[in-house]
Amino acid sequence: MINNEISDEEKEAYLQEFLKQYEILIFTKEEIEQIGLLDNCINCGTCTMFCPLLEPTNGELSPRKVAIEVSRTEPYWKNIRKIAYDCTNCGKCEEVCPKSVPIPKIIRILRNKIYLQTPELVPDGYKGLENNLRNYNKSFVPIEEDDKEDYIEEESENLGIQKLEDIYKEDAEIYYFAGCQASERMFKIRESTKFILNKLKINYSLIKNESCCGLPAVLLGNPELADHFCDDLFTYLQSTSIKTLVCTCAGCTARLKEFFNKKDIKFSVKHIVEFLIEDISLEKLKANYNIPSDSFRITLHHPCDLHRGVGKYFIEYLESILKSLPNVEFIKLDAHDECCGAGGLADIFIPDVTKVLQDIKIKKIKETSANFVISACPRCISQIEEGIYAQSIDISAEDIVTFLVKFLKG
């Protein structure tokens, strides 16, 4: 007897393949609910007015185009591709929208649809990143261990601190998640964090065989790969005595908070800034300060993934730490919360546009006459450093943890 019944999975696969021939996107019920929030748009144009891409593209790119294109009866791949990748995912549009339309989430859904249904339209640069994630569990090709040790030794010497051994425990209450940037490229951030935790006598541990947090995978359109990384981390942490997972990367913090908030977990996820303010206290931190011989004029760039991705309290937290430092003059940066151009993997797809955002940020920094610009995100620091170098400006860009070392060493 022939079984003519077709499973729901087979029906879904057939429908996907059929619609793909006509370049039409299809969405799941959950995705339709998110995209349906576009119906709340009142066409006020506020999102376009505040979008960082408005000026660099002479109005060609804007969040409203996302709403217009996706709202079509049959949205087409080729039109969707451009608006999906022409975005830094900074979240400014959702922040200023009077109806809180979640454009950044919709952008991520669109990238996932392209990845699943028309992978040939995924930018080539994204494919290289995914290869790194699959082959090395990191965004970058790892540096050889011997070379890495030499770099770490050099970075520690430049920081003026002794190189500390990596600590791995199962009974620690604080676990430090360094992230791809700090563990494979910007070693000074990882070493500075170890120094700070050690200075404050924190019982901490690094993560054994640390992998990516998964955010790059989400941004390139593969949330399943991202969740794989987080599930492995969750399994590992559940076997420890962890109470707090501390991060130094803004993107890692936002991603891991979002993922673990959906889980029944026994620990909290905090950026190092949150940890210092909420768990250590500003007073205890100040009690460990040494007065440096130099004085500093500093300004502050706020990472999008923290003050918009996690919470606006980060602006107060960061400023309170910097203003508590001796021999420091704090100068408010105009447009301190505007995207530096490093987010959303946009630099892979629209590098010329993100370079303009970088130039705009550097111009604002120059206007402060500061000699240091501080941030709390390795990717932002990398972007700003690149702009400073390109324009030969006499100013240093430093992560909050590397800057704090100046006041805690000695």
**Widest distance between CA atoms in the chain:** 89
Sign of the C-alpha dihedral, residues 87, 90, 95, 100? positive
Summarised one tens digit per residue, pLDDT across range 200-213 is 999 999 999 999 99
Q: How confident is the model at residue 75 (pLDDT cuts 50, 70, 90)?
A: low
- What number does CATH give the domain 283-408? 3.40.50
Residue 80 has what pLDDT? 80
Per the model's pLDDT, the better-predicted residue between 23 and 390 turns out to be 390
Which runs of E-coded beta strand occur in 178-306?
204-206, 244-247, 268-271, 296-300
Distance from the first to the final alpha carbon of the chain: 83
Topology match between the domains 134-281 and 283-408: yes
Residue 63 has what pLDDT? 87
- Closest-CA residue to 195 (of 226, 145, 154, 159): 159
Summarised one tens digit per residue, pLDDT across range 31-48 is 888 888 888 999 899 999
Surface-to-core class of residue 346, CB atoms within 10 Å of its CB (0-12 exposed, 13-18 middle, 19+ buried): buried
Domain 134-281 class, CATH top level = alpha beta
Residue 69 has what pLDDT? 76
* Domain 9-121 sits in CATH 1.10.1060.10: yes
Q: Per this entry, what is the length of the chain?
A: 410
What residue spans define the domains of the chain? 9-121, 134-281, 283-408
